[in-house]
Amino acid sequence: MPLLDAEAIHPITLPDGTVYRDTVYLKNVIDHPRIEVGEYSYYTHSGKPEDTAQILAPYLGHGVRERLVIGKFVQIARGSYFITSSANHPMTGFSTYPFRIFKPETFGYKDLPTRDTVVGHDVWIGHDAAIMPGVHIGAGAIVAAASVVARNVPPYAVVGGNPATVIRMRYPEEVITELLGIAWWDWPIEKIERNMAALSDGDLPALRAA
């Protein structure tokens, strides 16, 4: 029996057999035209599963133009969320007050700049992090708890702070290049599980052999 079940809503079972209901596989609980999520990406929150999209990206209305794209095997901790472009106030005039949102006939996002927000594969977003509009987070990156990510994050970088800056790179450049080429997240789940030890132990020769 596989360790991971791509069809599960609540993927974590505690040692006593209890299903942990605060963690959900995003792909199986989000039905939103502007959110795309890869398999096995999870989010922990205390709301109802059907409220996940609203909790994760509270300003991403159905009428907006930007997208939130989340890769495979992304881990999003409790309290983290995405502030998308639709949350922006107009900044080209003398006032930032969003007058038009108070009247249905003038409400709209067409005059606001929009940028897709993209999270790569195998990204870990720590507790209470805020991801700002249009940010791209590279594969394998780690976002420290309580960070405000306002700029793009390179693959396999560790970032933290407000605004978040690169604390260190997880691996040398040549290793990062090789990992991105291996792209283990695109393997069949059976192959991934056969190579869990190599992934968990950082055994690059074993990944090469696989």
Q: What residues are labeled active site?
A: 89
> Distance (Å, rounded) from C-alpha 142 to C-alpha 51?
25
Q: Which residues pair with 23 in a beta bridge?
A: 44
Neighbours of 83 (CB within 10 A): 20
Residues 6+ apart with CB under 8 A from 111: 90
Residue type for position 53: A
DSSP 87-132: GPPP-SSS----GGGGSTTT--STTS----EEE-TT-EE-TT-EE-
How far is CA 14 from its chain centroid? 24
Instruction: Show the tokens assigned to 181.
Output: 């080429």
Handedness of CA 191, 193, 197, 200 (dihedral sign): positive
Is residue 60 a contact partner of residue 35, using CB atoms and an 8 Å limit?
yes
> Distance (Å, rounded) from C-alpha 187 to C-alpha 192?
6
